[in-house]
Structure 1
């Protein structure tokens, strides 16, 4: 069973400046919750018990959000705000076991995962990126875990993207195994549209087995001096390791850019029982 998850949250969040200058981008809110809480809730609902945050200087607020807050809880109790108190207690109860490791230099996603290796140990684990918020009936990560446990191999989440957007993603090539599942034959990082092997783009959900760490250790720095995760995946495939891509069910929002954050906020606001009806009326008035 996959019980550990690595959450790389050390990035600078330059796409969200100036808001991310003093606030971790993962703490920017989608409706009434920080983006990272949606990620943690997805993982927790997927059976994850051990959360490993890869942080950098100034990201401690992320850890604090999931910690106990005795003073706040006492104040809410004294004021008789029982609903809010329960909500706060729920947040601190999301993470059963929390640990953190620092990525001292911004050396890429591959390096961020590698620094978590001592805490992961020798077992399969999940990786969830904070930029990608997935709204789905069954949690996106749970979908991947079920596939990985069935086929006993690493699984990466993919979705189809317009041809003109392939240069924003890692794009896979593969052989179809069954509906929604491909055995990967390669991956190309941010290709030009005419070079893209498909329209299947990798998004921020992965299930890895421990051998990924061996390949990350041997992966030389690529663009910008960063250790690219896709380079390690590509070498694993070349060496004969089976890695699969799974087209998950759900809608993904890129909360790492301003438009994506607004879209995600609107989506969850429209579903909110108190806010949704009023927001619909407001949108109608604008139109």
Structure 2
């Protein structure tokens, strides 16, 4: 069983400055919860019981959010807001969370390598901490199911327009069973005319523990970063890895447009505010378009 997950959350969030100068991008609120809470909830819904969050030294807010706040809980209870106090307690107790430090921002591969001791010799999920993914069945659960079938590293992929492939890791391969692909090649952020396909990795991974030895072999790229895609390509050269083409909606909240889109979409799912938000959006569009 896959019981461990790693959430990389150490980056500076430079695409969303100045908002992320003092507030971690993972703590930006989407409706009434920070981004990273949605990510943790996906992991828990997928059966994960141990999470390692990779942080930088200035991201204390993440630790505080998932810890107990006894003063606030007692304050709410004294005012009869018992359910709100109970919800805060459940948040702090829903899963075991450890934190490890990434001393330098050296890419996603380096961040995952920082969690090697916590992961040990077990398969583990990776969920990027600034991306919310909505699907009927949690995407992480879909990856775990695929791992049970094939026993290899598995990445979540989706098809995007050709002009967007340069933002992501891109795969090519062969369909072997429905939406399950055997991966032949992975390329990190290729130019559109050099992309092997339009299938891009979409922020969720299930990795076998030998990924750590592959990360040790990866040569730093642009900016001295260690890319996870390069380590996965090394895996694919030695043994099969797979991809699951997921039916999901992904919100990249690490940039302003994605943040606004996520807030609007998730607010429209809330019955208590749906009509008000829809009316306001229609009015704004009518006035400005």
* TM-score normalised according to structure 2 size: 0.96
Contact 2:182 2:242 in 1 (8 A): yes
- In 2: Cα distance, 1:93 partner to 1:268 partner: 25
1:199 paired with 2:201, answer no
1:253 paired with 2:251, answer yes
1:55 paired with 2:55, answer yes
- Report how far residue 217 of structure 1 moved: 1.2
Instruction: Please list, as runs of the form range in 1=range in 2, the aligned pairs for 1:168-183 lying within 5 A after superposition.
Output: 168-183=167-182
- In 2: Cα distance, 1:41 partner to 1:249 partner: 19
Match of 1:273 among 248, 256, 271: 271
Match of 2:102 in 1: 103
- In 1: Cα distance, 2:15 partner to 2:261 partner: 16
Contact 1:157 1:204 in 2 (8 A): yes
Match of 1:13 in 2: 13
Instruction: Please list, as runs of the form range in 1=range in 2, the aligned pairs for 1:102-141 lying within 5 A after superposition.
Output: 102-141=101-140
> Number of paired residues?
285
How far does the alpha carbon of each residue in 1:202-260 deviate from its partner, in whole angstroms, 9 at most, with x for none?
11100011100011112111111111111111111122x11101111211111111101
Instruction: Please list, as runs of the form range in 1=range in 2, the aligned pairs for 1:202-213 lying within 5 A after superposition.
Output: 202-213=201-212
- In 1: Cα distance, 2:94 partner to 2:261 partner: 25
- In 1: Cα distance, 2:156 partner to 2:269 partner: 25
Match of 1:263 in 2: 261
Runs of 4+ in 1 over 3 A off after TM superposition: none
- Please state whether the residue corresponding to 1:183 is helix, strand or coil: strand
- In 1: Cα distance, 2:217 partner to 2:283 partner: 57
Contact 1:40 1:94 in 2 (8 A): no
- In 2: Cα distance, 1:24 partner to 1:131 partner: 10
How far does the alpha carbon of each residue in 1:38-89 deviate from its partner, in whole angstroms, 9 at most, with x for none?
0000000000100101111111110111111111100000011123223212
1:75 paired with 2:75, answer yes
What are structure 2's unaligned runs of at least 5 residues? none
- In 2: Cα distance, 1:158 partner to 1:132 partner: 14
- In 2: Cα distance, 1:82 partner to 1:279 partner: 28
Match of 2:64 in 1: 64
How far does the alpha carbon of each residue in 1:156-184 deviate from its partner, in whole angstroms, 9 at most, with x for none?
00111110011111110111112211100
- In 1: Cα distance, 2:114 partner to 2:273 partner: 41
Contact 2:9 2:130 in 1 (8 A): no
Contact 1:136 1:251 in 2 (8 A): yes
Match of 1:34 in 2: 34
1:156 paired with 2:155, answer yes
- Report how far residue 90 of structure 1 moved: 2.5
